[in-house]
């Protein structure tokens, strides 16, 4: 709420100073596009980091057991998928989302990173789709912001 009041005050001051409404609208649109570009750029960096980690993983075969809290993880309050690989249990790198994504008692190809976190099929799709879409969104927003200049 306070941000809306600050923005309204800035708009009123600009109008009093004689800045046209068209210029205020253009500046506002440019600032909004810039903020959105920074946010999507952050998403792109996030997915790029996990994509690089995925490329460095070792391939393994395992099966889904359950969704459980990983007390060793910083995301311990969220349930993660638990997989059995070679007699040991490993947690997924991201919190488990919808149980329908995980198939019990079926062997599947998994990837394990250096910290013993699992990248299953759902996580791999999320990382790749997230990287592609966030890079495209960032590019579109930057091009849109540059067109306003």
* Tokens found for residue 122: 């759902």
pTM score of the predicted model: 0.79
Kindly give the pairing relationship between strand 58-69 and strand 88-95.
Answer: unpaired
> Tokens representing 80?
């993660």
Q: Tokens representing 143?
A: 């091009």
Q: What is the 3-state secondary structure (H, E, C) of 64-101?
A: EEEEEECCCCCCCCCEEEEEEECCEEEEEEEECCCHHH
- Residues of the chain with pLDDT > 90, as a percent, come to 33
Q: What is the pLDDT of residues 35-91, one digit of tens each?
A: 999 999 999 999 999 999 999 999 999 888 887 877 676 666 778 888 888 888 888
């Amino acid at each position: 709420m306070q941000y809306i009041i600050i923005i309204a005050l800035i708009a009123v001051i600009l109008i009093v100073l004689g800045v046209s409404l068209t210029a205020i609208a253009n500046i506002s649109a440019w600032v909004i596009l810039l903020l959105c570009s920074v946010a999507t750029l952050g998403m792109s960096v996030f997915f790029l980091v996990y994509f690089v980690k995925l490329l460095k993983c070792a391939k393994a075969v395992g099966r889904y057991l359950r969704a459980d809290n990983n007390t060793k993880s910083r995301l311990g309050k969220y349930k993660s998928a638990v997989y059995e690989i070679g007699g040991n249990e490993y947690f997924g790198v991201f919190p488990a989302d919808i149980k329908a994504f995980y198939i019990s008692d079926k062997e599947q190809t998994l990837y394990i990173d250096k910290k013993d976190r699992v990248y299953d099929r759902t996580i791999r799709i999320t990382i790749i789709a997230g990287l592609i879409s966030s890079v495209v969104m960032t590019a579109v927003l930057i091009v849109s912001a540059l067109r306003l200049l």
